[in-house]
Structure 1
């Protein structure tokens, strides 16, 4: 494998990037639709190292040979303020990809966050630093720094294809990779969902029924469910 490091990523409109940061992963996931939304949502294994974290920014991708993390350093070197590092090693649990020393430098550079499909370590120190890190595993295992690998090429992160420049949004609910071609649609859909949910919560606070507001009776009827005003034991 020929190692390669690309220094640039496609740029997206600043106004869309600013707005996407306002919405939760759940709304953006729903806005992408039932097919693309599932395709771009990382699994429940991808978790933040501390609660209450949230990031949004364009992806700088790093593919690392299993057990090696040379290319995370190359990615960190070319990444710019506000971007998100997406680090992968094929999902292996050995050879930590991310730790507190790299996180210290990332914070100094203004990196928005880190997504790790593989192990992170120095978790207590990362939390103390306020490093906005998501990972699929935790392990102290030693990483080599030999390569091969690549920076800013398409990768697969926790089952999701991530191209350089894709917009990564992550919070307590998980992590989502939004392709640039779908960003405007995701933002528009999340904006509308957010508006409707604000209205819905306001009506619930005044005593309205969620079942009635969502017209769940139609869904129940379509599902063919019988409603019986008896105890289950009475049939």
Structure 2
């Protein structure tokens, strides 16, 4: 397998990246029209952490982490490493030593479509990671791949320099060119949710706030007392 290492790709503005980090993955996904979410199989190895960074992408051969070593050199402060493989792989391609090197370079975290290991050490050193699997199985360094090329994870295309936002709910990708627009849309959604939260605290029901009673009626959903329902069952 031949490959390419692309240097100096354009990145989303760091102020937009940091602004997106104020919002949850669910909020940002909704603000983009329910797009950009990676699948439910990629889970955090820690809890209570939210991080956003600009993607440095890695395309590796299964069971081989050579290109992660190559990618470390391309990482800079504010980046987030995204690792995927040419076919499914759950081997532990990433661990504490990689995290140490990346943390030294100001990298904010890792999202891996493969496996990771040393999860206890990752949590202890405060390096956030999300992965498809946790596995002690090691890897080799034998096959070429690519760095900073478009990759696909769970049907979502991630370009180098896109914004990756990850928290306890999962991972979402925000295209680099849309970052500022999505910040504004996320702010608007949070403001709307704040008004709804206040209404619920005041006792309003979602049925009334969202006009759902009329929808239930249109769908033919009926209200019956217990006695009426029980009588119908016995008939």
RMSD (Å) for aligned C-alpha atoms? 1.7
Instruction: Give a deviation string over 1:77-125, Cα, whole Å, max 9, x none.
Output: 2100111100011463343221011111212221111000010001111
How is 1:143-154 mapped onto 2 (pairs within 5 angstroms)?
A: 143-154=139-150
- Contact map agreement 1:116 1:135 (CA 8 A) in 2: yes
Contact 1:86–1:157 (8 Å) recurs in 2: no
Match for 2:164 among 150, 163, 168?
168
Matched, 1:233 2:230: yes
The answer for the alignment partner of 2:2 in structure 1 is 2
Gaps of 5+ in 1: none
Give the conservation status (yes or no) of the 8 Å contact 2:95–2:118: yes
**Could you give the per-residue CA deviations for residues 106-163 of structure 1, whole angstroms, max 9, x where no partner exists?**
1222111100001000111111111100001011112111121000000112332111
Paired residue for 2:111, among 111, 115, 135?
115
Q: 1:208 to 1:125 in 2, by over 3 A?
A: same
Please show how residues 43-82 of structure 1 align to structure 2 within 5 Å.
43-82=39-78
| Distance of 1:61 and 1:138 partners within structure 2 | 20
Instruction: Name the counterpart of 1:17.
Output: 17
Stretch of structure 1 that moved more, 214-223 or 141-150:
214-223
Provide structure 2 residue ranges, at least 5 long, that are not aligned to the other structure. Answer: none
8 A Cα contact 1:167 1:180, kept in partner = yes
Given that 2:60 and 2:67 are in contact with CA atoms closer than 8 Å, whether structure 1 keeps it comes out as yes
Cα distance in 1 for residues equivalent to 2:218 and 2:114: 43
Where does residue 92 of structure 1 map in the other structure? Answer: 88
Q: What TM-score does the superposition give when structure 1 sets the normalisation length? A: 0.91
Aligned to 1:29: 29
Matched, 1:136 2:105: no
Do 2:57 and 2:81's aligned partners in 1 also have CA atoms closer than 8 Å?
yes
Q: Alignment partner of 2:166: what SS? A: strand
Q: TM-score, normalised by structure 2?
A: 0.91
* Partners of 2:51 and 2:165 within 8 A in 1: yes
Asked if 1 retains the 8 angstrom alpha-carbon contact of 2:93 and 2:138, the reply is no
Higher alpha-carbon Rg? 2
Distance 1:233 1:91 in 2: 56
- Quick check: 11-20 or 111-120, which moved more? 11-20
